[in-house]
A and B are shown apart, each in its own frame.
Chain A
């Protein structure tokens, strides 16, 4: 993985620091399985450097970006690079202190404390990924304040107070303005370093698609990259919504093409139909028509 960072052009200093970090903090053998093996790699040097530096300095980071900007990919990649076990905590409307820190449970006729993911993460020095942090109610997250700031403690009333393991870092992700999200309150935001996740550049998208589909033709690699860029530009100018600017959808569509589905049908499913507005679909269709011919078959897109 460090090789990958070098290829991305991350400064040698940072890579050395990461190596030191990994040497210093060992992982318990029974937690090895928690170190992620991500499917995708994150491309984007600036974001890598910002994130690595912040984590090395002991900060928690908040990744903000619209969908398909690679928030979770980066979080996984970071845990792997630093070689730390990862705890995933998906936030939702009913997230409260008991789902985060832990709750009383009943074992062998006795009430005992069942540790929540934050508690475990803190104990074992993991990386805690707080996914969609703005889905939860702000007041229910106030229990995290002492954990996330300089105090680095978890105090469970009536049970125990523990200090966080030195290697613990929290990586929160959020998509501002998604359905069901709310404003993050200041107290919580101030406990994070915030990274604005840019949407993927054409060069990086090319790398990503090539890694996913090594057998793709250069010609259509360019067309799919261009298609995504065209849609992005259109949505940036408010001519269409962001629904169809869907990287996951594009990758899935190409995957379907690899399985012999006609290109336009696949793109309809992966991209066009994500919008439910007739007129918007027409605009998206025009963009696709200016990139992909009708009745495009698999052998034209892929080499083998």
Chain B
């Protein structure tokens, strides 16, 4: 419960932020405009009038020049003061330009002025700014401000005329600053540089320290900052440079697993305790981990840690990292809240629509109902009373949907996106009252870990999907086999499996001593793809519907085609996510 509340309050804040942006965009008439300013009142509510002015200023004036000017102001440590001052002037000129298009602004401005004068709008620390502001809004209301002459002088120059253009405004603003204030250009830069240098020194130190530590095979806390997503440090690193990524973030993937007796314990520390007792897991492994996956093992968890594991330092750290990723996922979702919310709505509509259209009714001949004129003669001549037709509603049949999220380290760059996509699909299906189960899979030390976020009946647990976190390798074939095995136990007539994956099966176990990869355990490249494709075909033959939301790079498209045939979609624009997934689901539902 606590968890959900956190999400909700966060969302109201995000809502107000979104609202402020929408007002600004409305004023700017440009939805690509990224405003540096947005105004909220004491309760965190977005202000209508002043946010509109911010947007409209962008419309009437040259946004680039204004931005440069504000950037220039920022070189002074007192930049906030000057920004505020500039906005008083811009408010005046923008209002006079805007009033011709929107007469309503007159009343809105008066209301806003009253709020400022009555102290409802928070004022700033600097007395002089407040004086100017109060004087300005008193004038708006037609009152005579009683203040020193100097303030009025400043204000007179500051209340820009509506006929001035951007250049003129900036020239005037510079004059004002020069005449009345002491602008220290560069003072801020100096401070900033100092700060930066200090930081740089820190980092260098850190790198050196890191190198030493890596050889000593230790410490998680250091690894965290390097974006290393690996369960443990080893001698054997595998660097994958992600293309088109400015920072050249290194994903360091561990390929070399040390076999330990306490493997299961180790996995539990990392992913949470198993939900099945040891003997059940063994029997599960006996029936599933055969053939290509002979030596693999399974670990099914809900990402929860018990008291024993929590006391462990590693487990506590893992939990912390998991929480951080969760917050990052939620933040990403909230940052694009309106778009995501729209996606959910669209997808929900699409699914509902498909169910409505494709599971419509049949008409049967009956002795009551709507009269069928073409059959009337039968009653008269051959005494057949079935001359009516009656509507028979078709049953949808029960559907269950399983969503399988690939959470291997190769998805590291897109964790937030995948969590959001998974949430959107799950939430849309939930709103259509379709039971849905969401879980992720990855592999570590020969274990394939299935982390269940939400089971069919847990309709209020979709938020748990934000716990998604990428790590380890992926044994797609085994994961799909396990999903299908779990789905088989369900009673529903139509079972759908949606896999969010980059279609890059990769689970290699090297021999720590020699670095040689034993043939029978190699699971990557063509071998992995073939095996996964085989599992998918087997599932389809058994009557399940399997489809894929492809999350990977161009180079893996052929693999996706090979594995899922036509039943996969690739999302190139997140805005189109709902449409594309909707069409795919529609097609599948139609064929049920």
Contacts and interface: CB of A to CB of B under 8 A. Distances in A.
B309 to A, nearest CB: 40
Contacts of A241: 342, 345
Contact of B19 (A94, A109, A226, A282): A282
Interface stretch (A59-67, A232-240, A252-260): A232-240
A287 B26 contact: yes
Main secondary structure, interface of A, reads mixed
Interface in B343-374: 345, 349, 352-353, 356-357, 360, 363, 373-374
Interface footprint category on A: 35 or more
Contacts of A89: none
18 contacts: A104-B373, A106-B377, A109-B380, A111-B377, A182-B357, A223-B104, A233-B26, A234-B22, A234-B26, A234-B31, A239-B31, A277-B345, A279-B341, A286-B23, A286-B26, A290-B23, A290-B105, A292-B104
Contacts of A283: 18-19, 22
Contact of A238 (B339, B349, B352, B380): B339
Interface in B2-54: 15, 18-19, 22-23, 25-27, 29, 31, 48, 52
B163 to A, nearest CB: 22
A157 interface: no
A105 B373 contact: yes
Contact of B102 (A94, A114, A282, A291): A291
Given A279-B15, A279-B341, A290 B48 contact: yes
Nearest to A295: B107
A291 B107 CA distance: 11
Interface string B327-345: 0000000000011011001
Interface string A270-304: 00000001010011001101111110000000000
Contacts of A292: 104
B402 to A, nearest CB: 27
Given A106-B377, A239-B338, A226 B345 contact: no
B345 to A, nearest CB: 6
B236 interface: no
A230 interface: yes
B103 interface: yes
Interface footprint category on B: 35 or more
A227 to B, nearest CB: 10
A226 B102 CA distance: 9
A179 B349 CA distance: 7
B575 interface: yes
Given A241-B345, A283-B19, 14 more contacts: A104-B373, A105-B373, A180-B356, A219-B103, A223-B102, A223-B103, A239-B25, A239-B338, A289-B48, A289-B104, A290-B102, A291-B102, A292-B104, A293-B107
Interface in B536-592: 575
Interface in A143-169: none
A72 B454 CA distance: 47
B345 A291 contact: no
B22 A238 contact: no
Interface string B91-132: 000000000011111011000000000000000000000000
B101 A226 contact: yes
A93 interface: yes
A98 B374 contact: yes
B376 interface: yes
Nearest to B578: A238
Contacts of B376: 106
Contacts of B357: 93, 180-182
A289 B352 CA distance: 34
A95 interface: no
A103 interface: yes
A143 B29 CA distance: 49
Given A106-B376, A291-B104, A233 B342 contact: no
What 6 A-B pairs have minimum CB-CB distances, sorted nearest first?
A: A237-B31, A106-B376, A104-B374, A105-B373, A293-B104, A293-B107
B496 to A, nearest CB: 20
